């Protein structure tokens, strides 16, 4: 492991920083005793653990050890229900959304939403998978047959949104994502394209405000503009790096410098 600037390497568990020269990545081992004595010493002596995993994030928080990302960031990983509740509690603007538990509540969906509306797999989905535009009763029945609870969101007729990546306390990258023809999803993984046209400052400010209110410090915030207003669609703690590559940004070098400068 190469050190830079004479500093000891940072300690990470997950492998997201494995290509950074100033980080030693140990892997996630659910039995702490599976780490070698030297690795256990590194973990215990480190002032901060990078990418500790959901398993260890709350344990390190309980013992007072700092992590990056924050414990609060890990609490909302791929959990749209928690994210929506947090948006509501903190006054963050987002499309009208409601969660329906059980057949009795789900029978009431049509009293709250008119077709078309968006239905999502509420936990564990990413990259545009598990997101459906529901146009009628048949589509709703099919969704409910495969997804419980039901996560229903109003449909905003837009053809693009903005991905803003916040690391630490600043927006390190922001770009537009444009939906492919015939699809309402903008995710690159389902055919969306990246546009590097300038991103409005209002969207940048909103992304930073979201992270401040929610306690997040490493996240891709998806924001759309509809009828001159900005809405937060969701937060992605496991965001991809396609936007960095499109802009010619070396993600590993960026992270090395932010660690070295004490930003994260």
Domains present along the chain, CATH in parentheses: 10-68 (no CATH), 96-154 (3.30.1490.20), 160-260 (3.30.470.20)
Residue with tokens 């759309």: 224
Q: Rounded to whole angstroms, how far apart are CA atoms 43 and 8?
A: 13
Q: For residue 262, give every residue at least 6 positions away whose Cβ sits within 8 Å of its Cβ, in sequence order, or none.
A: none
What local confidence, expressed as pLDDT, does residue 7 receive? Answer: 66
> Directed axis angle between helix 80-90 and helix 201-214, to 10°?
100
Cα distances (Å, whole numbers) of residue 79 to 58, 85, 86:
16, 10, 11
Q: Is the predicted pLDDT of residue 257 greater than 70, yes or no?
A: yes
In the predicted model, what is the mean pLDDT of residues 195-201? Answer: 98
In the predicted model, what is the mean pLDDT of residues 199-207? Answer: 98
Q: Rounded to whole angstroms, how far apart are CA atoms 89 and 22?
A: 38
Percentage of the chain modeled with pLDDT above 70: 96
What local confidence, expressed as pLDDT, does residue 8 receive? Answer: 78
What local confidence, expressed as pLDDT, does residue 126 receive? Answer: 62
CB 24 within 8 A of CB 10: yes
Can you point out the beta strands (E) in the chain? Answer: 10-12, 23-25, 48-50, 66-68, 97-100, 117-120, 131-134, 150-154, 160-167, 170-178, 193-195, 218-226, 229-236
Model confidence band, residue 1 (pLDDT cutoffs 50, 70, 90): very low
Q: For 29, which DSSP code? A: -
pLDDT digits (tens, 9 = 90+) for 215-233: 999 999 999 999 999 999 9
Model confidence band, residue 170 (pLDDT cutoffs 50, 70, 90): very high
Q: Is the predicted pLDDT of residue 115 greater than 90, yes or no?
A: yes
Angle in degrees, CA 229, 189, 96, rounded to 5:
30
Map residue 219 onto helix, strand or coil: strand
Q: Is the predicted pLDDT of residue 4 greater than 70, yes or no?
A: no
Q: Rounded to whole angstroms, how far apart are CA atoms 32 and 10?
A: 19
What local confidence, expressed as pLDDT, does residue 149 receive? Answer: 95
């Amino acid at each position: 492991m190469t050190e830079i600037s004479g500093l000891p390497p940072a300690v990470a568990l997950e492998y997201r920083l494995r290509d950074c020269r100033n980080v030693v990545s140990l892997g996630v081992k659910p039995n702490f005793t599976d780490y070698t004595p030297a690795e256990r010493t590194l973990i215990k002596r480190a002032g901060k653990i990078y990418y500790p995993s959901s398993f260890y994030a709350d344990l390190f928080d309980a013992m007072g050890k700092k992590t990056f990302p924050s414990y609060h960031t890990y609490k909302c990983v791929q959990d749209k229900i928690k994210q929506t509740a947090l948006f509501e509690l903190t006054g963050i603007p987002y499309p009208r959304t409601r969660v329906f538990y059980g057949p009795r509540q789900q029978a009431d969906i049509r009293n709250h939403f008119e077709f078309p509306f968006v239905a999502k797999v509420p936990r564990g989905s990413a990259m545009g998978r598990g997101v459906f535009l529901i146009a009628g009763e048949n589509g709703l029945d099919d969704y409910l047959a495969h997804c419980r609870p039901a996560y229903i969101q109003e449909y905003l007729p837009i053809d693009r949104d903005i991905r803003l990546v916040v690391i630490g306390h600043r927006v390190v990258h922001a770009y537009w994502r444009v939906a492919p023809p015939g699809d309402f999803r903008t995710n690159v993984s389902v055919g969306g394209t990246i546009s590097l046209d300038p991103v409005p400052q209002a969207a940048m400010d909103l992304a930073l405000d979201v992270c401040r209110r929610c306690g997040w410090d490493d996240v891709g915030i998806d924001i759309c503009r509809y009828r001159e207003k900005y809405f937060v669609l969701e937060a992605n703690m496991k965001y991809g790096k396609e936007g960095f590559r499109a802009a010619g940004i070396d993600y590993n070098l960026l992270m090395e410098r932010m660690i070295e400068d004490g930003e994260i």
